[in-house]
Structure 1
Amino acid sequence: MESTSKKTTAATQPAIPPATSILNEDWTVVVLGLAIIGLSLTGLVIAAPAFGWKDSSDLAGTVFSAKNLVAIAAQFAFTYVVALAGAWLTGRSVRATALGFPVIFGLTVLALILAGNKTLKDLNLEAVIFSLMIGLAIGNTMRLPDWLRASLATELFVKIGLVLLGTTVIFGDILKAGSLGLIQALVVVLSVWYVAYWISKRLKIDDEMTMMLASAVSICGVSAAIATAGAIHGDSKKLSYVISLVLITAIPMMLLMPYAAQAMGLTPEVTGAWLGGTIDTTGAVVASGSLAGEAALKISTIVKFSQNVLLGLAAFAISVYWTYSGKDGVQAEKPTLGVIWERFPKFILGFLGASLLFSFALSAETIDTVKGSLKSLQGLWFALAFVSIGLETRFADLFNADNRRPLYAFLLAQGFNIIITLVVAYFLFQ
């Protein structure tokens, strides 16, 4: 079965016909993602470039220093080879990828530089939003050449990033920190996901958008939306809309919730659990926890990591549900193990394998050696994916009148999330 969405419109189909594929996309990202991890563990550690800067002189001396430009070039060469291998394995045009990937990478670096500005960083505007905005700006003001359009391997880039994301989900750290965070994560994720799903169905939102929206608001924001879209072969336009909602609503929550907690007289522990369970991006959780104090920051991080642990399990459950219900566009079959395995998104195996490897098989010294490089590569693949999404998406499709209902559903679900998480956090951490 092909892993890409059957709902892709003619406008987004590659103009250059693909060759015969060697592997489907999901197995390709497992192979490539684990290969990246394996190469890192055997000594090929790609240095993470620095993108943080305060002013023009700092930009020239840090981001555009000779050493940093070499690091950026090394990342480009490494990801270029991986992208070409992905095109070859999946039967996409290697020629189009060879021509188009450098353009996508250049736009991505621009997004990372913008996101690295201290003023914008203090607002916790993440690189993926700049990637999406740059892609939308170009894709909506000019006609893309066929070779560039054919090189937009959005799902490939996203899923490689998801496999690498598994290296940051360390079960041992969370279990050592205590079980309360996991208990809260389970209660909050299950209840908020169900309520978000119920609200979305009441508002007659389509199934794809409902699943992505419910996962984003209940689990861990951007990563959960991406994983869900991969599990159900969701429309990239709907994914970009959900992620825009996550990133936009995270900003006022990040700034206002610490002061609301102070006004209510909450303890640092309850405050941290509340922040970690409701704010949908890890960066915003860290920023908000820092505003509330060191103790709140620690608890908020533990709770957020606890929710991140559930990502793989949630994606698995969603994919099984999608298979049983026949919502993937294929007529429902008898739900045998064979049918589930055929439709199961194999990239989840790469995510779980990476997480288990880094949680239980590697020493702390080994992890410290490679984690910075892999974290940087993970963020880079996500940013590459969102430049691609922006390039192939019409801006008007994101914010037309039909998208008001998902907005209302997201805000209502987030409101419930804020209330239920506060109640659970109070009883567990008071």
Structure 2
Amino acid sequence: MPHPSDLPTAAATDDRPVGSDSRSPLLRSEDWWSVWVGLFLVVLSVLLWALGGSIAAIAPQIAKWSSFPALGAQLGGHAVTIVALYVVLGALFTLVAQFLRIRTAHFVAGFTALFLGAVVITIVATWSWASAYNLEAPLVALVVGLLVGNLAPAPAWLDSALRTELYVKVGIVLLGATLPFTLIVKAGPVAFVQATVIALATFLVIYVVGTRLLGLDQRFAATLGAGGSICGVSASIAVGSSVKAKKEQVSVTISLVVVWAVAAIFLLTAIAKALGLHPGVAGAWIGSSEFADAAGITAASAFGEQGLAAFTLVKVVGRDIFIGIWSLILAVIAITYWDRRDAAAAGAPRPRVDVAQIWHRFPKFVLGFFVGSIVLTVLILAVGTAGSAAVTTDVINPIKDIRTWVFTLTFLSIGLTTRFRDLTSVGWRPLAAFSAGAVVNILLGFGLSAGVLAGFWSSL
């Protein structure tokens, strides 16, 4: 999910790609780079294991602590591993920054500050006092980021490292490497059907309320509907471009997605815990009802591996893959009806439909998610039952630890780039239309996840 901080601003123009670019999309897209970085870490972990080592050497795991002497002992024991992780992730993400034409000095300084923040947050979250109040690292990172980001906006050098989209997609690729492909095959169709029902219902509610009741422009309503039903900001940008919505309409949609997504983190987590939902059910509900991958993972992380697995199946497998398809469908509708009307009025030729939009808009990190899952599944099948325990200990568990650190970077970035004042600038009609869809989304998602399909998600 691209975050508003990834969009060009006057203050950060020098840190963003500008102008025409002749480089291959494989090298200039954060979407593709999330695949390369994620799969590099997966392949590295397999190679190190095959050579008798383990990627655990760069995967620090700070255990729960209750006294400062105990914390000091842990930090002393993990100091080398923490530094190694900083060097590896810093090198990889700085390489990405080079290709994205972000100032290297700015990015390195910003990433260093962000990583140090992640270390502090991990320490706080593993404190026994914080554990007693269920203050998990994602929630701590989000709250700290929101407080700091809204009280003191990030300087340009830090802003250049707040790459929410990049971090979350790398984390999702790593998440794929911890899920057996057999599970994806088994649960994928159910996740797809559930996501399809909810996405269609949410889109239609936002579009109909927006156009029929509130008088919004059709292109604007379509952009709002896509942002609230498919994949948040990514869908807003893709569909907004496809239907030729105005730039300010896309910006309003992005603001609504971000604010609602952050609110839903606290809302869905609190309700799921209050009702005592099974982790799999809670994860599926979050996957159905959250608007953004990063925000959804923040909420799903509170429900452990089962919650993350269910969330990923519904959100990534069920909803994210719709971006390209919906972009094409809505582009056809816009060209066939809305553009024909506008072209006729202006005496201009009617534009053609570009089927290639399906591939251009398709979220490439989903491919990395599947490849990561296949690689680990093949490895486990190759070593058999006798070697599967070693693969879990030396490969899968360290990947989970690295994934947790990457997600902490994500959550902190979300908080630091979210502005509460954005909600006041969108107007009441777009807010009302989007909120109507969000309410239907949450209620329908709960009904399917905790009612109709509760048995399936509980047995995941």
TM-score over 0.5 for the pair: yes
Shift of 1:66: 0.5
2:321 is paired with a residue whose SS is helix
The secondary structure found in structure 1 opposite 2:275 is helix
8 A contact 2:16–2:100 mirrored in 1: no
SS in 2 for 1:13: helix
For 1:351, the equivalent position in structure 2 comes to 369
Give the deviation of 1:86 after TM superposition: 0.8
The question of 1:156 aligning with 2:132 is answered: no
Percent identity over the alignment?
22
Partner of 2:407: 382
Q: 1:27 to 1:356 in 2, by over 3 A?
A: same
Q: Which has the higher mean CA deviation after the structures are superposed, 33-42 or 199-208?
A: 199-208
Task: Tell me: CA distance 1:240–1:159, structure 2 relative to 1, closer, same or farther (3 Å).
Answer: same
- Whole-angstrom CA distance in 1 between matches of 2:437 and 2:400: 32
Counterparts of residues 120-199 of structure 1 (less than 5 Å): 120-121=130-131, 124-173=134-183, 185-199=191-205
Q: Which moved more, 1:306-315 or 1:396-405?
A: 396-405
After TM superposition, the structure 1 stretch with the greater mean CA deviation from structure 2, 33-42 or 113-122, is: 113-122
Cα offsets for 1:135-174 (capped at 9, x unmatched): 3333333354332233333322232222222212323246
Q: 1:86 to 1:59 in 2, by over 3 A?
A: farther
Question: Is 1:315 matched with 2:320?
Answer: yes
User: In the superposition, relative to structure 1, how do residues 127 and 378 fare at CA in structure 2: closer, same or farther (>3 Å)?
Assistant: same
Match among 305, 324, 335 for residue 354 of structure 2: 335
In 1, the alpha carbon distance for the partners of 2:366 and 2:100 equals: 18
* Structure 1 pair 418–313 and aligned structure 2 pair: CA distance change class (3 A): closer
- Aligned pair partner of 1:106 in 116, 126, 131: 116
Q: Which residue is equivalent to 2:71?
A: 60
Amino acid at match of 1:357: V
| Cα distance in 2 between the residues matched to 1:286 and 1:144 | 31
Q: Which residue among 384, 392, 416 is the counterpart of 2:444?
A: 416
Checking the alignment, whether the CA contact within 8 Å between 2:192 and 2:317 is kept in structure 1 is no
Rounded to whole Å, the distance in 1 between the matches of 2:4 and 2:329 is 18
CA shift digits 1:379-416 (9 cap, x unpaired): 32232233333333323225777556645543442223
Code of the aligned partner of 2:95:
A
Matches within 5 A, 1:212-291: 212-215=227-230, 238=256, 240-258=258-276, 275=282, 277-278=284-285, 280=287, 281-285=299-303
Post-superposition Cα deviations, 1:73-118, rounded to whole Å, max 9, x if no partner, equal 2211111111111112222222211222101111222233333344
Tell me if structure 1 keeps the 8 A contact 2:6–2:163: no
CA separation in 1, counterparts of 2:83 and 2:238? Answer: 33
Distance 1:182-1:321 versus aligned 2 partners, 3 A rule: closer
2:9 corresponds to which residue? 10
Contact 1:174 1:305 in 2 (8 A): no
How far residue 372 of structure 1 moved from its aligned partner, in angstroms, is 1.9
Gap runs ≥5 in structure 1? 216-223, 262-270, 288-300
**1:230/1:58 CA distance change after superposition, 3 Å:** farther
Match of 1:42 among 40, 44, 47: 47
1:4 positional shift: 9.1
Structure ID, larger Rg: 2
How far, CA to CA, are the matches of 1:212 and 1:168 in structure 2? 29
Q: How many residues align?
A: 388
Aligned-partner Cα distance in 2 for 1:56–1:206? 54
CA contact (8 A) 2:238 2:323 kept: yes
Opposite residue 316 of structure 1, the aligned amino acid is: I
- Of the three residues 98, 117, 126, the one matched with 1:116 is 126
Asked if the contact 1:333–1:339 (Cα under 8 Å) also holds between the matched residues in 2, the reply is no
- Tell me, yes or no, if the aligned pair for 1:275 and 1:285 is still in contact at 8 Å: yes
8 Å CA contact 2:118–2:408 kept in 1: the answer is yes
CA deviation after TM superposition for structure 1 residue 51, in Å = 3.8
Measured after TM superposition, the shift of residue 346 of structure 1 is 2.4
Deviation at 1:358, TM superposition (A): 2.1
Q: Distance in 1 between matches of 2:71 and 2:455?
A: 51
Q: Is the 8 A contact 2:64 2:127 kept in 1?
A: yes
Q: Assess if the C-alpha contact under 8 Å between 1:28 and 1:90 holds in 2.
A: no
In the aligned structure 2, how far is the partner of 1:151 from the partner of 1:246?
25
CA 1:359–1:196: 2 relative to 1, 3 Å: farther
1 CA distance for matches of 2:188 and 2:357? 32
Q: Which moved more, 1:394-403 or 1:84-93?
A: 394-403
Quick check: 2:327–2:358 contact (8 Å CA) kept in 1?
no
Give the alignment's Cα RMSD to 1 decimal: 4.2
Letter in 1 for 2:405: L
Distance in 2, matches of 1:166 and 1:152, equals 23
Larger deviation: 17-26 or 390-399? 17-26
**Per-residue displacement from partner, 1:289-322 (whole Å, max 9, x unpaired)?**
xxxxxxxxxxxx4x97456335235322222212
TM-score, normalising length from structure 2? 0.69
Residues 1:197 and 1:160: Cα distance change in structure 2 (over 3 Å):
same
User: CA shift at 1:248, angstroms?
Assistant: 0.9
Q: Which has the larger displacement, 18-27 or 79-88?
A: 18-27
Q: Against the structure 1 CA distance between its residues 207 and 126, is the aligned structure 2 distance closer, same or farther, given a 3 Å change threshold?
A: farther
Structure 2 unaligned regions, length at least 5:
49-53, 211-219, 241-249, 288-298, 340-350, 382-387
Cα distance in structure 2, aligned partners of 1:147 and 1:16: 9
Is 2:99 the partner of 1:92?
Answer: no
